[in-house]
Structure 1
Amino acid sequence: MYAIVDIETTGGFTANNSIIEIAVVFHDGEKITGQYEKLLDPGIPIPGFITGLTGIDSQMLEGAPTFGQIAEELFGLLEGEIFVAHNVGFDYSFVKQAFEKEGKEYKPKRLCTVRLSRKLFPGLRSYSLGRLCESRGIVVNDRHRAMGDAWATTILFGQLLETDQDGLIDQAIKGKNKALTLPPNISKEQFNEIPQSTGVYYFHDSNGKVIYVGKAINIQSRFNGHFTGKAKLNLKSEICDVSYEVTGSELLALLLEAMEIKRLWPKYNRSLKVKAMSWGIFSYSDREDYTRFQINKIATGFQPLATFTSHATAWKFLVEKNKEFNLCPKLNGIQKKNGACYDFQEGECKGACCGKETSEDYNQRATEVFAAVKMEGERFLIKDKGRNPEEEVALFFEDGFLSAYGFLDLSNSYSSSEEVVSALKPVKRVIETRYLLKAFWDKIPENNIIYLANS
């Protein structure tokens, strides 16, 4: 449905410039379904400032195909997909021109993640990809390389899809726009009192009962996003009050949202209840005894090697581990291709996909992939920012489950980590907190994690 595209070029304008690298991540609106990337021979020298920005030089492009040589393949992959990019006008203009030179007319529907971010994440000082990723907690690997930026844009686009409860993305595709209106029982004064802070919010009906729980980086902005268009009309008419708990920490907001949904079971949290099923990475052996990994929804009776709250985070994890351990992207469903995978042709895969590497050698590396994400038997504290500069959040985990949390005054001193734990508020173990921790793990600085001895 969506093709998230990023390109690197010899210059900033289509006139007299060409594409030197293209990456595409395919997304069906719920999960990532594939990816494509190529270095391309532009037929002209690479300017020094482009090499300085991207790291791509003429030597790297020796033997690379021209755009004309991949045009048929790429056109087939992009045909019928919605073209998504950060500053879509730039990427689209180059791709359109390149296809035109090959006699192909390319006029897809398009979405710009800059424009969407301005609407769905208002109030930021900058909407450049780097600044947006920083503000949204997105880790960018290989900045100013096509796949690195395409991946970052894909994660950002996933957040936009999740935030857009009111059809703004569909309206952008159709070229329509509708005005925001507050729920009839919420006054402008109530709306203005909602904090523009990270935390958890609650919608209440006329009897005070909680009918929806959500979390947000900016609670007021998220509330604002619930009520454009015709989305959730029943919810809109039933809301009579809104309350909230500011957390400061995004991780605590995620964990608290999951626990509160489990505790209160609000009637309008159906989509979030489905999330509790989560996604998992599973392994199996094929007919040649090669270990393969596959992403699927978690089902009763099947134990995944790792769990994630979205297909996108599972896919990103698998792609990164695939590269880290030199595994075959074809065996793990990342690339779909007859014969050897693209990585083997480029010397990055050892050839399990075409019989060039034995299953014994391949499986030895594959078994190491999930060794680092096991949390059984571990006890640790995670420190994070609090609600103001004078405090910090402390989260205590046992076996990967949140066991206690609290807000600590930075002016107080504690003699040991165990003393910190004793000052925290205990909570009931909820399986979703384990999923969320694993999905969030790569965002946590190492010096914010304090391991405790087993009691």
Structure 2
Amino acid sequence: MYAIVDIETTGGFSAQHRIIEIAVVFHDGEKITGHYERLLNPHRSVPSFITGLTGIDAGMLSEAPDFAQVAEELWTLLEGKIFVAHNVSFDYNFIRQAFEQEKKSYKPRRLCTVRLSRKIFPGLRSYSLGRLCESRGITVNDRHRALGDAWATALLFGQLLKEDRNGEIARSLKGKEKALTLPPNISHEQYNQLPRATGVYYFHDKNGKVIYVGKAVNIKSRFDSHFSGKSKISLKSEICDISYELTGSELLALLLEAMEIKRLWPKYNRSLKVKSISWGVFAYLDQQGYQRFQVSKIFPGIKPLMTFTSHTEAWKLVSDKTEELELCPKLSGIQKTSGACYDYRLGRCAGACCGEESPEAYNQKAANLWNGTSSQQGVRFLIKDRGRNREEEAVLLVEDGFLAAFGYIDHSAQCQEIGEVLDFLKPVKRVVETQALLQSYLTKLPADRIIPLNGMQ
């Protein structure tokens, strides 16, 4: 027995919005056997664009029951039936969450008529409910009302049952819960071709335009995580294709992601922009001649020693270096006290904070906090990292703190000179975000993976 479901809601996200109308059409595998329809009071305003789309306004809902009042009745009607909907994840996520609020765990077997239509009726230009019904000769009454759309979906489902000569419906029901979480426009074949490898992946819309860029150590697992649980419905419905570029190197994937977001500026990366460089470590001499440090937001006119994408990163570097170089935490801006720092009392500070250590001796140690990192102008080096397979390694060229080029060197190439290695690398446009990413990542790299190039041609 099948329950073909359609809902109208106050918006597109089940976590934030509520159901205002639900309809269920029952099908026994051969014919429609009945239906259920209810308006539901969401106890919140109905956006004007929803009223414009559905015709449902607040006045129509004021005397309607809320979901809690119909939950038991609806549970009895749906229990034991296969849940069917057009873009099933949308309707199911709302209903599952509504049942959860009533302390009921609703996890039926599910079928998506979008996905099934793509398999059983291939080659159509559009698989929206309206276009599909038009192409199949199905009349839709009361479009964008729950019963009208559910009834049309039930008629479409009846045609799918009759035309399913290859057993697609049975295959979808047989242990294919993973597929039910996938975007409706992504096929099993596309999903199965995704690699379990490190790289950058791209989501494309129906016109091929990139709408999201991400990086992952395991692209297939990362794709799964996008669409498990409460995924973004609008992103899910717009994805029509996936592409990717393997990097092998996690660092290179991180840098390439930043460059591609800056180059393509995808629609769904706008709320997840690569962090801008907004924090810095500043240095100044106090009245006694001691070198002091301060973590602060960057402001025009004063150049920081080092730049960071977050206060946390900047603070951690200063804190780590203060401990490593045995600097005074008060002069590093870590401790606020009017007298000697707390570390002096514990014997971990030589006393610059109370005049026990001379400015000259202290400043000589303090200079090591930024030596080699404060000015990256003219600094060139290579980073060797994991390749896309065992026969190669990734090589990154860093100039002035930016990623300047990258490529892959086959172990059999036997490059004898640095110049030969550089010939294999592909130049890239300097992107400021790569500077910040490299700066935070370099402290984690083993020394033998970095090859200085200063003084070399």
TM range (shorter): 0.5 to 0.7
Alignment partner, residue 276 of structure 1: 276
Q: Please, what TM-score do these two structures have when normalized by structure 2?
A: 0.55
Q: How many Å separate the matches in 2 of 1:301 and 1:272?
A: 29
Alignment partner, residue 227 of structure 1: 227
CA contact (8 A) 1:247 1:387 kept: yes
Alignment partner, residue 312 of structure 1: 312
Q: Helix, strand or coil for the counterpart of 2:376?
A: coil
* Offset at residue 450 of structure 1 (A): 2.0
Q: How many Å separate the matches in 2 of 1:367 and 1:307?
A: 17
* Offset at residue 390 of structure 1 (A): 0.6
* Mapped pair 1:185 → 2:171: no
Higher-Rg member (1/2):
2
CA contact (8 A) 2:274 2:433 kept: no
CA contact (8 A) 1:378 1:400 kept: yes
Alignment partner, residue 242 of structure 2: 242
CA contact (8 A) 2:382 2:398 kept: yes
* Offset at residue 188 of structure 1 (A): 4.5
Runs of 4+ in 1 over 6 A off after TM superposition: 177-180
CA offsets, 1:128-181, max 9 Å, x none? xxxxxxxxxxxxxxxxxxxxxxxxxxxxxxxxxxxxxxxxxxxxxxxxx99993
What letter corresponds to residue 214 of structure 2 in structure 1?
G
CA contact (8 A) 2:277 2:307 kept: no
* Offset at residue 393 of structure 1 (A): 0.7
Alignment partner, residue 110 of structure 2: none
Q: How many Å separate the matches in 2 of 1:444 and 1:284?
A: 30
CA contact (8 A) 2:283 2:294 kept: yes
Distance 1:187 1:334, change over 3 A: farther
The number of residue pairs the alignment matches comes to 280
* Offset at residue 305 of structure 1 (A): 1.0
Distance 1:344 1:437, change over 3 A: same
* Offset at residue 435 of structure 1 (A): 1.9
CA offsets, 1:342-399, max 9 Å, x none? 3212101122334443444433322331012243222222211101101111112222
Q: How many Å separate the matches in 2 of 1:291 and 1:272?
A: 37
Q: Helix, strand or coil for the counterpart of 1:331?
A: coil
Q: How many Å separate the matches in 1 of 2:328 and 2:348?
A: 9
Q: Helix, strand or coil for the counterpart of 1:275?
A: coil
* Offset at residue 190 of structure 1 (A): 3.0
Q: How many Å separate the matches in 2 of 1:243 and 1:429?
A: 24
Q: Helix, strand or coil for the counterpart of 1:371?
A: coil
* Offset at residue 319 of structure 1 (A): 1.6
Gapped runs of 5+ residues in structure 2? 1-104, 108-177
Q: Helix, strand or coil for the counterpart of 2:333?
A: coil
* Offset at residue 192 of structure 1 (A): 3.4
CA contact (8 A) 2:277 2:310 kept: no
Q: How many Å separate the matches in 1 of 2:331 and 2:106?
A: 46
Alignment partner, residue 397 of structure 1: 398
* Offset at residue 286 of structure 1 (A): 4.5
CA offsets, 1:316-352, max 9 Å, x none? 3212210122112233333455643332121011223
Q: How many Å separate the matches in 2 of 1:178 and 1:380?
A: 57
CA offsets, 1:259-284, max 9 Å, x none? 11121111222355350335322223
Q: Helix, strand or coil for the counterpart of 1:404?
A: strand
Alignment partner, residue 200 of structure 1: 200
CA offsets, 1:214-243, max 9 Å, x none? 112222222223334545443233222221
Distance 1:222 1:335, change over 3 A: farther
Cα RMSD of the aligned pairs, angstroms, is 2.9
Q: How many Å separate the matches in 2 of 1:319 and 1:178?
A: 50
Q: How many Å separate the matches in 2 of 1:418 and 1:268?
A: 40
Distance 1:289 1:226, change over 3 A: farther
CA contact (8 A) 1:277 1:297 kept: no
Alignment partner, residue 329 of structure 1: 329
What letter corresponds to residue 248 of structure 2 in structure 1?
G
Alignment partner, residue 100 of structure 1: none
Alignment partner, residue 408 of structure 1: 409
Q: Helix, strand or coil for the counterpart of 2:222?
A: helix
Q: How many Å separate the matches in 1 of 2:369 and 2:292?
A: 11
Q: How many Å separate the matches in 2 of 1:301 and 1:184?
A: 52
Greater shift, 384-393 or 267-276, is seen at 267-276
Alignment partner, residue 423 of structure 1: 424
* Offset at residue 258 of structure 1 (A): 1.5
CA contact (8 A) 1:178 1:228 kept: no
Query: What percentage of residue pairs aligned between the two structures are identical?
Result: 61
Distance 1:307 1:178, change over 3 A: farther
What are the equivalent positions in structure 2 for 1:51-450 lying under 5 Å apart?
181-230=181-230, 232-273=232-273, 275-286=275-286, 288-336=288-336, 339-373=339-373, 374-450=375-451
Q: How many Å separate the matches in 1 of 2:410 and 2:259?
A: 24
Q: How many Å separate the matches in 2 of 1:397 and 1:359?
A: 35
Q: Helix, strand or coil for the counterpart of 2:332?
A: coil
What letter corresponds to residue 445 of structure 2 in structure 1?
I
Q: How many Å separate the matches in 2 of 1:362 and 1:323?
A: 14
Q: How many Å separate the matches in 2 of 1:193 and 1:338?
A: 63
Distance 1:342 1:217, change over 3 A: farther
Distance 1:239 1:334, change over 3 A: farther
Alignment partner, residue 451 of structure 1: 452
Alignment partner, residue 26 of structure 1: none
Q: Helix, strand or coil for the counterpart of 2:349?
A: coil
What letter corresponds to residue 194 of structure 2 in structure 1?
I
